[in-house]
Amino acid sequence: MDITADTPLDELAATRDQLRRAWLARKPDLSQRRADLTRLRDAFRARIDSMDEAIRADFGHRSQHENLLSEIMIVLAELDHALKHLRRWTKPRRAAVGWRFWPASARIVPEPVGVVGILSPWNYPVNLALVPLVSAIAAGNHVYLKPSEHTPRTARWLRELLAEVFPADRVAVALGGPEVGAAFAGLPFDHLLFTGSTAVGRKVMAAAAPNLTPVTLELGGKAPALVCADFPIERAAARIATGKWFNAGQTCIGVDYVLVDAARRDAFVEALRRELQSRYGDFSAPHDYTRIINDAQYARLRGYVDDARARGATVVEPFTADADAAARTRLAQDRLFPPTLVLEPPMDSQVMRNEIFGPILPVLSYRTLDDAIARIQSMDRPLALYPFSDDARSIDRIVSSALAGGVTVNDTLLHFGAHDLPFGGIGPSGIGAIHGRTGFDTFSKLLPVFRQRRMAGSDLLKPPYSGFVDKMVRWLAK
């Protein structure tokens, strides 16, 4: 088989069936799972350089250090975490039955579900493919992976890596465009995970519905950063800059807009200017700045800025304010979209109605904390929330009032890398969660097992309900 070729549609169901037959014939035990994860870790480490080259080629240019942090570090940490805790995760968990059922006992047994389908995105094409795969393998499943067509070199790299580590009937990879992705989502998987936009997530859920396939959807939304009046402006600007312009803003939990108290809004904008200059200089040679993934995404982002300007918002372009038409054409040809601020965009503008997924940062002012919270509550629940305050009561108030998929307080992005924290959204930002033990449980059936003893009170619970049995039932029901 040519491992670089797209997958024919008529092979998808056959491959899924092959994976499930093999799983039914021999479900991976603990030793098999450990061996699989160990081989994957070793093979991944050996292929880091080629992975880095593939990702940077797909993006046109991507910061190598961002690859190290977001792809390599995260994947290796997830593998190490799973290997360290796998024995404990697989053990049955005791469960209480209550005195009414004495002397019975109960336990919860994590059982693998079968074949897990994974539809992974382009923005972190290795991390968001392999992290859920690690959880699915740890739980004892077989896996069918469909990477994004927007990162074709990385998709082929993943297929080559996994073909080296796993037999074809344990892990398979499908390549192809939207037609392959749509057919893949409609396969009768035992669990399906999709990471991507909310709009496509709806289509994936609809495709899975006829088979009643359980789904985990890792989506997105407009993740707000709320800077309270007590928090130092310079520190907020530095940390929000990381949460916004890492990977040129192409991050599902990246800061999508900022709310800052009105009295300090202009000071915050100036602090962001200084932060950007310290990171990227004059932007003449932005080696540490990632490009936009493709021309369509670049045009979409350009349209957002044009729309905001047409609606009366102030657009601040720290590096390209005076660029002429020729310079802007060169930027577009290189898909180099410099950091851009949009001040006070209307709520019906495209930058406020849509997840930005790029290096544009709306900055909005608020009068009171209640106003800021109400603004967040007026929008769909986001995948991430970033409150900034040194006052614990303010943080508790924000977190309890503005429900999100996950929260990092006084910083950005970092909750994603904490493997004992579940990662997932709520409502339009997602369904279910992964990472660490949560990911293991997501791809397991937590099977409740109730064990009765030789002698049990339930032997008496049968008609006729009279005499002693009548008194016992009435006593138990009190």
Q: What is the pLDDT of residues 395-439, one digit of tens each?
A: 999 999 999 999 999 999 999 999 999 999 999 999 999 999 999
Instruction: Tell me which of 103-107, 126-130, 358-362 is least confident.
Output: 103-107
pLDDT category, 323, cuts 50, 70, 90? confident
What the chain holds in terms of domains, given with CATH numbers, is 9-219+430-448 (3.40.605.10), 224-424 (3.40.309.10)
- Say which amino acid occupies 429: S
Per-residue model confidence as pLDDT tens digits over 220-279: 989 999 999 999 999 999 999 999 999 999 999 999 999 999 999 999 999 999 999 999
More confident residue, 475 or 19: 19
CA distances from 271 to 151, 161, 165, 228, 265 (A): 35, 44, 48, 16, 10
Strand-pair partners of 215: 192
The pLDDT value recorded for residue 4 is 61
pLDDT of 130 > 70? The answer is yes
In percent, how much of the chain has pLDDT > 90?
88
Query: Which listed residue (71, 218, 275, 355) is catalytic?
Result: 218
Global confidence as pTM: 0.94
The pLDDT value recorded for residue 2 is 53
The pLDDT value recorded for residue 35 is 98
pLDDT of 365 > 50? The answer is yes
Question: Average pLDDT in the 213-222 region?
Answer: 95
Q: Locate 347 and state its tokens.
A: 């709520």
Q: 252 an active-site residue?
A: yes
Exposure b/e, 179-209, CB count within 10 A at least 16 = b: ebbebbbbbbbbbbbbbbbbebbebbbebbe
Assess contact for 443 and 86: CB atoms under 8 A.
no
Mean pLDDT of the chain: 95
Per-residue model confidence as pLDDT tens digits over 442-452: 999 999 999 99
Report the sign of the C-alpha dihedral through residues 150, 153, 156, 158, in that order: negative
More confident residue, 458 or 83: 83
pLDDT of 1 > 50? The answer is no
Question: Average pLDDT in the 283-310 region?
Answer: 95
Per-residue model confidence as pLDDT tens digits over 184-213: 999 999 999 999 999 999 999 999 999 999
* Non-local CB neighbours of 74 within 8 Å, separated by 6+ positions: 127, 131, 416, 417
Question: Average pLDDT in the 124-133 region?
Answer: 98
The pLDDT value recorded for residue 455 is 81
CB atoms near residue 353 (< 10 Å): 14
- Say which amino acid occupies 159: R
Query: Which listed residue (71, 228, 252, 275) is catalytic?
Result: 252
In percent, how much of the chain has pLDDT > 70?
99
